[in-house]
Amino acid sequence: MKKINKLGISLLMTLMFASCMNLDINTDPDSLSSSSGNIATRLSGMQFWMGHTHQTTGFFAALLNQQITLSNRGADRYGSLAEWTAANNTASTYPYQAFLVGVGGTCADLYAMAEKQGAYHYMGIVKAFRAMGFMVMGDVYGEMPYTDALGVNISPPYDDGKTIFNGALAEIDEAIEFFKKTQESGAKTLKDGDAWNGGDVDKWIKMCYGLKARWLNNLSKKTDLYDPTAILEALNNAPKSNADNTIINHENATSSVDDNMWGDDIRSNYIYIWAMNWSRTYYVTKWYADLLTDFDGKGIVDPRADKLVPSAQIKGGTEWFRTPGVDMQSDIRLTPIGSTVSNWRSPAQYDATTKKWTVTATTDSTVISLQTKGVHSPSYRDVAEDGTILNSGTFYARSDAPTHLLCYPEMCFIKAEVLFRQGQTSPAFDAYKEGIKAHIDLLNEKLTAGDANVAKATITAAERDSYLNSAAVGTAANLTLGKIMMQKFIALSFSNQNWNDMRRMDYSPTIYRGWAEPYERTSDNNDKKWIPAGKQYRRLGYVSHEYNYNNAHLVASHPRALEDDIRSFPVWWDYPTDDYK
């Protein structure tokens, strides 16, 4: 990944705002201008960057909420996320750039071009993208330019979280209305440029209602605004089965076709791109592995465990070893990292004499990385010469893994939470159980029957049903909010919504059984300048571009805007009242 820490101001502003200016210099018919180009082609590029926005925040969230970690800490910005410090501004620029540059800079032009030809469905996508992108901005930064963003003002004032949230809700409603309209004769159809839903307008409408349900449910702390009836009404129009899902499909590319901003292969899965680059090695945590092997302390292995937790074949390929994950409540990440440290060694080892890869003996402290072979890791060996699988990988971090953008299992868990809060335990359990089943079935859409790699083999109906009827899933009588949220966490792996949910639940170890703050919080007092004792990671730090080029408005946006501990202050929806600052 050839990412950059800063864009030069001239490049950034050109990318963000040039499409909003109709300059005379752009009248050459042989040159591109803000009003030239095919709206279907423009949509394809916007979808790539909207997907990047979604999964970049999801990857950072997975480090913050302890789904994954890495071996290095402290000085590394991603190690910092895992231990709750903020070295090098902790990568806060990437969601901002992916949305504002990759998507936002094209919104006004695409909308105007679509409006001119009566392509209402493209106008709906612009509204949906603005709503999705700015809601993410509010989720991770709290305050951002919104009302005056993406215009000609290169130093726009900030809006508070409430304004951004309500604005995004209004725009998703506008998107729905555009999708419901019949396009004018001759207007471009969505199938010409839609890589997400293949031009299926009904899927777009269901996606928008699903987003609305998600966002309304994020208001659970605000008793004056939380509206279960409105959430259930949105769910009634959202995906009702996996056939209604919005999924981004990716390829296991053999050669790289890179984007022109960060140099990433445009066909590969976004999580794969993040997990396979920059010489960092990522692992699942023990807490996440335990969710799949010991859910609710029942000692029952989830059939999804082999798909989501990396494994390796051992003893001559006759047995499988599943990584126990990295224990974030231990001092294991304080151990100096090096090639001789067995705690951080993958079971796959290269024998220079025989010139073969083999699997060494394993212990409970041996961990297996997320890494798998692909265009960004062409020399990596995940299968030995004799066919022994050295690293099974994990479902969501392969080059050809689908991105589950908005899917039916999440709708089930939202419904389960709402009904549980209302005391409707039996229907809440039905929705909870359906969410688990739907997620297993969703994974199966990509898995293959009989594959020798346990991580890629289909989950059989018998395995699925046995788990659904097990003590791990439980019954309506012993359903808890914690079970709902932890099963939702599994189904939404690598999603920013998991971090949203953890913040809504105040990182409660009662809700998220076995979860605790990273060990480094107790061993390093320096960590507490970022997240003081008794507080939690509530937002990313502000973006360096805003420090450098919009400082006055940034300073005015929050009383602690320039302080290290800004990351411990909640965003608007994460606080009971409007006095969240």
- Here the CATH number for the domain that contains residue 69 is 1.25.40.390
Other residues' Cβ atoms within 10 Å of the Cβ of residue 197: 23
Mean of all residue pLDDT scores within the chain: 86
- Is there a contact between 552 and 521 (Cβ–Cβ < 8 Å)? no
- Is there a contact between 571 and 541 (Cβ–Cβ < 8 Å)? no
Most confident region among 243-252, 345-354, 429-438 by mean pLDDT: 429-438
What's the number of domains the chain is made of?
Answer: 1
Nearest to 540, CA basis, from 87, 67, 149: 87
10 in any annotated domain: yes
336: CB partners within 8 A, 6+ apart: none
Residue 357: in which H helix or E strand, if any?
strand 356-359
Spatial separation of the C-alpha atoms in residues 233 and 526, rounded to whole Å? 47
Nearest to 548, CA basis, from 169, 1, 10, 61: 10
Q: Which domain holds residue 60?
A: 1-20+37-199+535-581
Residues 273-283: pLDDT tens digits? Answer: 888 765 678 88
- Percent pLDDT > 70 in the chain is 82
330 in any annotated domain: no
Spatial separation of the C-alpha atoms in residues 244 and 389, rounded to whole Å? 35
Query: Which position has the higher pLDDT, 580 or 91?
Result: 580
416 in any annotated domain: no
Query: Which position has the higher pLDDT, 26 or 230?
Result: 230
150 in any annotated domain: yes
Return the structure tokens found at 61.
């969230």
Spatial separation of the C-alpha atoms in residues 17 and 9, rounded to whole Å? 12
56 in any annotated domain: yes
489 in any annotated domain: no
* Class of residue 5 by CB neighbours under 10 A (exposed 0-12, middle 13-18, buried 19+): exposed
- Is there a contact between 308 and 292 (Cβ–Cβ < 8 Å)? yes
pLDDT band at 580; cut points 50, 70, 90: very high
The amino acid at 346: S
Residues 63-120: pLDDT tens digits? Answer: 999 999 987 665 567 778 888 887 655 557 888 999 999 999 999 999 999 999 999 9
Nearest to 308, CA basis, from 68, 53, 512: 68
Q: What are phi and psi of 319, to 5 degrees?
A: -135, 160
Per-residue burial over 241-268, b if 16 or more Cβ lie within 10 Å, else e, is ebebbbbbebebbeeeeeeebbebbbbb
Residues 141-174: pLDDT tens digits? Answer: 999 999 999 988 989 999 999 999 999 999 999 9
Looking at the predicted structure, is the pLDDT value of residue 485 above 60? yes
Q: What is the pLDDT of residue 345?
A: 47
Mean pLDDT, to the nearest integer, of 23-34?
A: 40
Residues 180-223: pLDDT tens digits? Answer: 999 999 999 999 999 999 999 999 999 999 999 999 999 999 99
pLDDT band at 2; cut points 50, 70, 90: very low
Range of weakest confidence among 83-87, 298-302, 347-351: 347-351
* Class of residue 317 by CB neighbours under 10 A (exposed 0-12, middle 13-18, buried 19+): middle
pLDDT band at 390; cut points 50, 70, 90: confident
The amino acid at 427: P
Spatial separation of the C-alpha atoms in residues 405 and 271, rounded to whole Å? 13
142 in any annotated domain: yes
Mean pLDDT, to the nearest integer, of 370-391?
A: 74
Q: What is the pLDDT of residue 330?
A: 86
Range of weakest confidence among 112-121, 372-381, 539-548: 372-381
Q: What are phi and psi of 42, to 5 degrees?
A: -65, -40
Q: How far is CA 160 from CA 8, 266, 406, 481, in A?
A: 27, 34, 26, 30
Q: What is the pLDDT of residue 8?
A: 35
In terms of phi and psi (left: phi > 0; alpha: psi -120 to 50; beta: otherwise), the region of 543 is: beta
Spatial separation of the C-alpha atoms in residues 392 and 382, rounded to whole Å? 7
Residues in the chain, overall count: 581
- Is there a contact between 5 and 92 (Cβ–Cβ < 8 Å)? no
561 in any annotated domain: yes
Q: How far is CA 519 from CA 164, 246, 356, in A?
A: 35, 38, 38
Q: What is the pLDDT of residue 360?
A: 61
Residues 391-443: pLDDT tens digits? Answer: 888 999 988 999 999 999 999 999 999 999 999 999 999 999 999 999 999 99
Spatial separation of the C-alpha atoms in residues 558 and 578, rounded to whole Å? 13
Mean pLDDT, to the nearest integer, of 119-148?
A: 97
